[in-house]
Structure 1
Amino acid sequence: RLKTVLNNTPKSLAPVGDKTFLYFLLKRWTSDNYNSITFLLHYEADQIKKYVNGLKKEAWLNGVDINYIEESTPLGTGGSIANAIKELKINDPFIVTNSDTWLFESFKGIEESHSNCIGLTKVDDATRFGSVGVQDGLITSFHEKSETALNKEKILINAGVYFLHPSAFFNNSKINFSIEKEVFPRLAFSKDLKPYFLNGSIIDIGIPEDYKRFCILYNQGNLQI
């Protein structure tokens, strides 16, 4: 994993040329006119806050409202979102995305579904990912990596971007829980989870090979924001 390369540097702050991976994510988000961004932090939170605060002087971040919610103990992918809903008193739907994944296609438009949805994309390498089942315009199932490893065809995978209503988290009494294992299956079972199809592939910089690939794209001038 990338930690063997970065030591104690968060993945989102992985250097890319004279910038960081997070720099390009912020550029993408702001170019898509997202002007309210909240970071849910635990591991090396101070590093990320210091870096982002240092970027606030950039003209392209003018008018962008940036907040941080720091967890004293890890709350899991679902627990951290539920905590943010409570802390920020969120009543409206919102977008969640990972800070270690690059999507080659913008997810601008995911909110137009108006329903709980997961961004999905197709990949060739089934050995690295679990797959997502879709039927009649709804997400119906989730399959672990071991179940898809022998699949020689392209599979649909979770691209790490979601449009969600706060009510998706109302029925979970746990503090620390996984959105992938405890929220999404429940929403799928109740037919309350739709797919949002992305045409481009993804880069997961948690994999050293993918991180190198992203750096090469940048160095060659082939990184489109």
Structure 2
Amino acid sequence: MHAVILAGGKGTRLRPYTTCVPKPLVPIGDRYSILEIVMHQLAHYGFTHVTLAIGHMGTLIRSFVGDGSRFGLQVTYLEEATPLGTIGPLLGALGSLPEHFLVMNGDVLTNLNYAKLLRGHAASSAPVTVATYAREVRSEFGVLDIDGGTITHFREKPVFNFMVSMGIYGFSRETLERYPAGRPFGFDDLVLDLLSRETRPASFPFDGYWLDIGRPEDYDRANADFDRYIGMLMPGMTLGTPVPAPDAYLNGAPA
């Protein structure tokens, strides 16, 4: 049960919160960092090993997580000298990963059962399994269909429904072995290539709690939600004295 957490991004959309702290260490509810919640969840669901792909302010993440023993996990690190995208960091480290493994972004707040996703992927023949979520977008405008300069249809502030990737994936090592290491390679590149070869990824639909904490408004919502959902987001945790906030590690204090 091995998970790779992508924690090397700069978090530019979440500024000013990420000016001095990497996005995975931004605190939620003034109690736990995003990364700390994820590490606890992985241990709860039976994961034993975590690989952290780090880059921007990676030394802070190392100081905070250490060897992972305080989470009941064994943690190793992949360091990006230059940004390699979502999949790029994995390509040079496939030899250290098991046949099937979980990959996830380090800024996801959800109560998804990661083990169920990974077991489902391992039992399938899919090259990759994508956790998916239904989203709804309401247009602020009336939408027009136009043909040859005339309006053929009108919809007043329509609602669009679609499925999105949650940033959590079940992977098989052999899926990635065909791609060269050391160059930027994103999840979009991978999916487009798989589809072009008619090798279709699988969907793992989820309808529970999920937030991609990429923007200040998402972060504000996560903080507003946390006290209400803490039991769900921290399963099995005895909730007592809050742990030190991530900024306690800015000067290199040991984890």
Normalised-by-shorter TM-score class: 0.7 to 0.9
Confirm whether residue 205 of structure 1 aligns to residue 218 of structure 2. no
- Give 1:203's aligned amino acid: L
Counterpart of 2:187 (choices 171, 180, 184) is: 180
Tell me the secondary structure at the aligned position of residue 49 of structure 1: helix
Residue ranges of structure 1 left out of the alignment (5+ in a row): 128-149
* Aligned residue-pair number: 196
Distance 1:55 1:172, change over 3 A: closer
Flag the 1:97–1:126 CA change in 2: closer, same or farther, 3 A: farther
User: Structure 1 pair 91/151, CA: closer, same or farther in 2 (3 Å)?
Assistant: farther
Quick one: percent identity of the two aligned structures? 18
- 1:139 matched to which residue of 2? none
Q: Alpha carbons of 1:168 and 1:151: their partners in 2 closer, same or farther (altered >3 Å)?
A: farther
- Give the 3 Å change call, closer, same or farther, for CA 166–151 of structure 1 in structure 2: farther
In 1, the alpha carbon distance for the partners of 2:90 and 2:164 equals: 21
Instruction: Find 1:42's aligned residue among 42, 45, 55.
Output: 55
| 1:70 counterpart residue number | 79
TM-score (norm 2): 0.70
Query: CA offsets, 1:79-131, max 9 Å, x none?
Result: 11112214x2x35111100111112332331122323211111111378xxxx
Which ranges of structure 2 fall in alignment gaps of 5 or more residues?
1-12, 140-156, 234-255
Q: Secondary structure at the match of 1:6?
A: coil
Q: Which position in structure 1 is the counterpart of 2:42?
A: 29
Moved over 4 A (4+): none
In structure 1, what is the Cα distance between the partners aligned to 2:158 and 2:54?
Answer: 36
Whole-Å separation in 1 of the counterparts to 2:32 and 2:68: 11
Q: What are the residue-to-residue correspondences of 1:1-225 with 2, within 5 Å?
A: 1-16=13-28, 17-53=30-66, 56=69, 58=70, 61-62=71-72, 64-86=73-95, 88=96, 90-111=97-118, 112-114=120-122, 115=126, 116-125=128-137, 152-173=159-180, 175-189=182-196, 190-218=198-226, 220-223=227-230, 224-225=232-233
User: Is the Cα–Cα contact under 8 Å of residues 93 and 164 in structure 1 kept in the other structure?
Assistant: yes
**Largest Rg, 1 or 2:** 2
TM-score (norm 1): 0.78
Q: Distance in 2 between matches of 1:181 and 1:174?
A: 16
1:50-105 Cα offsets, whole Å, 9 max, x none, are 0012863x3xx23x21111112222221211112214x2x3511110011111233
Which has a greater percent of helix? 1
**Residue 54 and residue 15 in structure 1: after superposition, are their counterparts in 2 closer, same or farther (change >3 A)?**
farther
Secondary structure of the residue aligned to 2:87 is helix
